[in-house]
Amino acid sequence: MPRISRKAESFSESVIREMTRLAALHSTPERPVVNLAQGFPDFPAPAEVKEAAVRAIRDDVNQYAITWGAKGFRDAIAGKLDRHYGWRVDPETELTVTCGATEGMIASLMAVIDPGDEVVVFEPFYENYGPDAVLSGAVPSYVTLEPGDGFALDPERLEAAVTPRTRGIVVNSPNNPTGKVFTRAELEVIRDLCVRHDLVAFTDDIYEHITYGAAHVPLATLEGMAERTCAINALSKTFSVTGWRVGWVVAPAALTAGIRKVHDFLTVGAAAPLQAAGAVACGLGDDYFAGLAAFYQVRRDLLCDALEGVGLPPIVPDGAYYAMADCSAFAPDDLAFTKRLITEVGLAVVPGSSFFHAGDQRGSQLVRFAFCKQLPTLERAVERLQAVRTW
Ligand code: GLN
């Protein structure tokens, strides 16, 4: 019998995406499951952005764009970075358009990491980083941020994770799943570590505009970091187009040359008409980006108040659109709670253990709720949550 590779064997399918499939499986016409598992918005993209995509298809933008991204789109991304952060990027040599941030991360790791190199990953982590490490040959070294400490960064723990084989560090701020927004002081600790040990930072900045207090600071904009950061981002979250699969990586020219080659042979390029629409999206007025935080804050507060009310104490996020809650009052562990919630109540969430490495128990009391949903969807979820009071 043919068998799959040891690489493919060594990780399991995405729990987040599995939950979406389970949601469909347990849905009936009378009671569709409310999916607060996978973090995709269920509301439309901005009208101008949709129109731009339709227009590009009507105008026959059908063929490959330049493999590292259509010039108009790269220029628009560079313009947005300059407007928002005063971050000057050369779109000719420092930018690669990818098929979503997912490809941006794996292409960056494959371009920079040699098999056996170690990469520091903060835990809890977005589940893709584990398989990303396997596929790129990296050995992950986990630094746990403790829920009880408000996920504060412990500089000593971080330093202790670095060995002579460490080549890089993955930083996701605002963070999925914790909602942590790394402070400038914490980012400076990471910067100093990267400079001291000659590390490359792989930053997943996809929730950059979704913050409820202090603004997001891209690690690449700290002095000394532009030359050693692969900054990964996408249209997905900011413009509510997760299915378009359009993202990008900003990296110094020498690393970009490697990332562009890997990207070319992985996927050739992202969808050309959607890149044309991406140029319009990145050029939207400041009010659009500023409005995102307020839009999500209403949803965060609605969900977190309800979680508190039913006895699932949430860790209220400072950014991104997820809330972790303690389910230990209602089930022996996160998997049992998640299963019961989806089958009995018709509500899908993600078990906390999928954000920790295998064998670590710290996620087993937690579940993750995504609140990037229309208010009626969230209200339905809150209504269904009331059932756990009787468990
Ligand atoms: N980032 C989103 C989440 O954490 C979606 C993940 C995905 O399915 N690509 O839910």
Q: Which of 13, 17, 35, 38 to mutate to test the pocket of ligand 1 (most atoms within 8 A of CB)?
A: 38
pLDDT confidence tier of residue 178, bands split at 50, 70 and 90: very high
d(CA 73, CA 85): 18
d(CA 190, CA 345): 42
What pLDDT score does 325 carry?
A: 97
Residue with CA nearest ligand 1 atom 3: 39
Q: Which of 17, 22, 40 to mutate to test the pocket of ligand 1 (most atoms within 8 A of CB)?
A: 40
Cα of 40 vs centre of ligand 1, distance in Å, is: 7
Atom of ligand 1 nearest to the CA of 237: 1
Round the average pLDDT of the chain to a whole number and report it: 96
CA 216 to chain centre: 14
d(CA 59, CA 4): 43
Atom of ligand 1 nearest to the CA of 17: 8
pLDDT confidence tier of residue 167, bands split at 50, 70 and 90: very high
pLDDT confidence tier of residue 13, bands split at 50, 70 and 90: confident
Cα of 103 vs centre of ligand 1, distance in Å, is: 13
Question: Is it the case that residue 162 has pLDDT exceeding 90?
Answer: yes
- Please give the average per-residue pLDDT across 129-152, as a whole number: 92
Cα of 73 vs centre of ligand 1, distance in Å, is: 24
Which residue type is seen at 6? R
Supply the angle between the helices 286-310 and 375-385 in degrees, to the nearest 10: 10
Atom of ligand 1 nearest to the CA of 126: 4
Residue 127 half-sphere exposure toward CB, CA atoms < 13 A = 19
Cα of 232 vs centre of ligand 1, distance in Å, is: 15
3-state DSSP assignment of residue 151: coil
pLDDT confidence tier of residue 264, bands split at 50, 70 and 90: very high
Q: Which of 100-114, 140-154, 214-228 has the lowest mean pLDDT?
A: 140-154
Question: Is it the case that residue 12 has pLDDT exceeding 90?
Answer: no
- Please give the average per-residue pLDDT across 141-166, as a whole number: 94
Model pLDDT for residues 283-324, shown as the tens digit of each residue: 999 999 999 999 999 999 999 999 999 999 999 999 999 999
Cα of 102 vs centre of ligand 1, distance in Å, is: 9
Atom of ligand 1 nearest to the CA of 100: 9
Question: Is it the case that residue 198 has pLDDT exceeding 90?
Answer: yes
What pLDDT score does 358 carry?
A: 83
3-state DSSP assignment of residue 167: strand
What pLDDT score does 150 carry?
A: 84
Residue with CA nearest ligand 1 atom 8: 17
Question: Is it the case that residue 85 has pLDDT exceeding 90?
Answer: yes
Cα of 164 vs centre of ligand 1, distance in Å, is: 33
Q: Which of 6-20, 72-86, 302-316, 336-350 has the lowest mean pLDDT?
A: 6-20
Cα of 77 vs centre of ligand 1, distance in Å, is: 22
- Please give the average per-residue pLDDT across 344-364, as a whole number: 92
Q: Which of 18, 36, 102, 176 to mutate to test the pocket of ligand 1 (most atoms within 8 A of CB)?
A: 176
Cα of 313 vs centre of ligand 1, distance in Å, is: 23
Question: Is it the case that residue 149 has pLDDT exceeding 90?
Answer: no
Q: Which of 15, 125, 242, 321 to mutate to test the pocket of ligand 1 (most atoms within 8 A of CB)?
A: 242
- Please give the average per-residue pLDDT across 180-191, as a whole number: 97
Q: With the C-alpha atoms ordered 249, 254, 259, 265, is the resulting torsion angle positive or negative?
A: positive
What pLDDT score does 361 carry?
A: 87
* 81 within 8 A of 233, measured Cβ to Cβ: no
pLDDT confidence tier of residue 76, bands split at 50, 70 and 90: very high
102 phi and psi, to 5 degrees? Answer: -60, -50
Q: Which residues of 189-218 are buried (b: 16+ CB within 10 A; e: fewer)?
A: bbbebbeebebbbbbbbbbbbbbbeeebbb
Map out the domains of the chain with their CATH numbers. 6-45+289-390 (3.90.1150.10), 47-286 (3.40.640.10)
Question: Is it the case that residue 344 has pLDDT exceeding 90?
Answer: yes
Ligand 1 pocket, Cβ-based, cut-off 6 angstroms: 16-17, 38-39, 126, 176, 370
d(CA 248, CA 257): 14
What pLDDT score does 2 carry?
A: 94
Cα of 335 vs centre of ligand 1, distance in Å, is: 18
